[in-house]
Amino acid sequence: MSLGGTASYRDPARRGDLPDLVSSAVAAAEAVGFEFCVRPEIGRLLAALAGGVPPGGSIGETGTGTGAGVAWMQSAAHPETRIVSYELDEQRAAAAQRLFEDHHNIEIVCADASELFGRGPFDLLVHDGGPGSGKHPSDELVDPATVLTPGGTMTLDDVTPAVTWPPTFRGEPDEGRLRWLTHPQLCTTEIRVAADLAVLVARYLPSG
């Protein structure tokens, strides 16, 4: 979760130029008091990844918020790339649905994000809320073979940059991050997008 994500858009020196839909998604977040928009540094990474999805390909996201991440991805994705995002909170989902109502390739669903996984496989799957990211000890990481196309990419937002191997959390090995970094069918790296913020990016490389 992006602590202060929405607030980070208030400072022009931090946010840089924004696509119009990103500004609108952030304004919608302000209007409903949602503080956890994806930070612009991550938004730009998501846009770069979305721009690599082939025309007609598909992107999934767990945790829409008010649509900032979807807006970043839309800014670079091919107009025929399908983007589907799930949000549990009715007010946020409604705001995002309004934002993208004229975009035939974008679908915002107000439901538990676990339902998203059956709608794959995706060329890009963004974990930003709900189950399946494996981030927490009790949460299983989704099976890449069922949610990703071969060569597809999965991201996990908002991890603290690691400085040791194995990465640690509160002094113990970070099992959530290790699920990604040691998965036999994932080629995973941690990309630091700010001094205090990193994203796990994994490509699904099926063996055999």
Ligand X SMILES: C[S@@+](CC[C@H](N)C(=O)[O-])C[C@H]1O[C@@H](n2cnc3c(N)ncnc32)[C@H](O)[C@@H]1O
Residues in touch with ligand X (CB under 6 A): 1-2, 36-38, 62-65, 68-69, 86-89, 92, 112-113, 128-131
For residue 21, the one-letter residue type is L
Name the minimum Å distance from CB 81 to ligand X: 17
> How far apart (Å, rounded) are the C-alpha atoms in residues 104 and 140?
32
Cβ nearer to ligand X, comparing 93 with 202: 93
Cβ nearer to ligand X, comparing 113 with 181: 113
CB of 67 to ligand X, least distance (A): 7
Contact 85, 124 (CB under 8 A): no
Please state, in angstroms and as integers, the Cα–Cα distance from residue 11 to each residue in 15, 26, 68, 112, following that order: 6, 13, 16, 33
Please report how close the Cβ of residue 115 comes to ligand X at its closest, in angstroms: 8
Closest to ligand X by CB, 69 vs 152, is 69
Cβ nearer to ligand X, comparing 36 with 122: 36
Residue 138's CB is within 10 A of a number of other CB atoms, namely 6
Q: How far is the CB of 200 from ligand X (least distance, A)?
A: 15
Phi, psi of 63 (to 5 degrees): 85, 85
